[in-house]
Amino acid sequence: MTVPDHLPADLFGRREVDRTVRVFDAVASARLRWTTLVNRREPRPKADDRRMALVVTERRIEAHDQDVVGLRLAAPDGRALPPWRPGAHLDLELPSGRLRQYSLCGDPADVRAYRVAVRRIPEGGGGSVEVHDSLPVGSPIVVRGPRNAFPFAVPGHGSPAARLHFVAGGIGVTPILPMAGLAHRLGIEWSMVYTGRSRATLPFLDEIEGFGDRVVVRTDDEHGLPDAGALLPGVGPDTAIYSCGPAPMIAVIAAAVREMPSVELHSERFSPPPIVNGKPFEIRFASTGEVVEVGATRTALDAILASRPDRPYSCRQGFCRTCKVRVLAGEPDHRDSVLTAAEREAGAMLVCVSRADGGRLVLDL
């Protein structure tokens, strides 16, 4: 199978950041550090939603390009933390008030600490920059969870598959790493392809290569852009595939799996899903009467943020509920996977993925 023509030249959808962007990033980072210092308050979690006050006990650079930082989070009193399973994530309440989600990539058997890893993305909305620049060792932070939107089913214990194959793209290795570790400890037959732009950009490379010849590491600069054959070597019937990474990589794998009988695909992407069959519509803010237009290929969230940049959001994929609003008039086209029928009947809508099939929505923000 060849890579579809519409995919970008870089499987990860972006080139190296040029010098101008790096200058702007440095300026933005300095401003962020100043704002965080001025506005920092000791986090005080509410007694709901599994919110916990933790502290950063360790920071490590996890990729040779210096753009991935790993954080170890623990309770100030060292108590045991709620358990989690591979595929789970935490919601981090950052000092600025941003809410961001990061996969747990440590050992589920370590009940005294959580580990997350974050790639610095200057153009990604500020959350990753804040983690890199404003959370030194000793920083207090409130987290929510753990939650699991990417559950791992072990063959023989919830999955009919006989073997496993993992595909990780760059920072997408974070939920895959504990899955591979568990499969390895249980003696399950498994294999893995780990891909990225270059070896310097791949986090946890030493840990991954510690699994030996079960893992194939391939990079764009050494091997070119991988097709489905390179991402799925030896995959046949009765295989369960777990894949995490950029949307173009997931699309290549999904297209191939459609032609593979008795092969499961479980995936998580670190970017918004593409808009399919979208139609233009309007949003009216009930509080002000302002009307914004939403194009056929634009999300309602993006249109709202252009006018209300302080609106909260996080996953952009329709499962974390951070962007939930109330619809006062109009018929929403619900495209999320978490709201109940009762919630939708009451007017709830997740604007990161849901929209309208034309016409106008009146929203209470």
What is the per-residue pLDDT across 352-361, written as a single tens digit (0 to 9) for each? Answer: 999 999 999 9
pLDDT digits (tens, 9 = 90+) for 32-67: 444 444 444 444 544 445 799 999 999 999 999 999
CATH class, domain 281-364, is alpha beta
The CATH H-level (homologous superfamily) assignment of domain 52-148 is Translation factors (2.40.30.10)
**pLDDT exceeds 70 at position 346:** yes
Confidence of residue 338 (pLDDT cuts 50, 70, 90): confident
Cβ contact 294:282 at 8 Å: yes
> What pTM was estimated for this model as a whole?
0.72
Give the percent of the chain with pLDDT over 70: 85
pLDDT digits (tens, 9 = 90+) for 273-327: 778 899 999 999 999 999 999 999 999 998 998 888 778 777 777 877 889 999 9
pLDDT on residue 125 = 59
Q: Tell me what the pLDDT averaged over the chain comes to.
A: 86
Point out the least confidently predicted range of 43-57, 94-108, 186-200, 212-226: 43-57
Pairing mode of beta strands 99-103, 88-93: antiparallel
pLDDT on residue 124 = 58
Cβ contact 154:186 at 8 Å: yes
pLDDT on residue 39 = 43
Point out the least confidently predicted range of 14-18, 50-54, 142-146: 14-18
Please choose, from the candidates 325, 315, 319, 323, the residue with its C-alpha nearest in 3D space to the C-alpha of residue 272: 315
Please choose, from the candidates 173, 352, 196, 195, the residue with its C-alpha nearest in 3D space to the C-alpha of residue 275: 352
Residue-range domain boundaries for the chain: 52-148, 163-268, 281-364
**pLDDT exceeds 50 at position 364:** yes
Beta strand residue intervals within 39-184, DSSP E: 51-61, 68-74, 88-93, 99-103, 114-119, 140-148, 154-155, 158-159, 163-169
**pLDDT exceeds 50 at position 103:** yes
State CA 34 to chain mean position distance.
Answer: 27
**pLDDT exceeds 70 at position 171:** yes
The domain defined by 163-268 folds into: Rossmann fold (3.40.50)
pLDDT on residue 5 = 40
Cβ contact 180:209 at 8 Å: no
pLDDT on residue 159 = 82
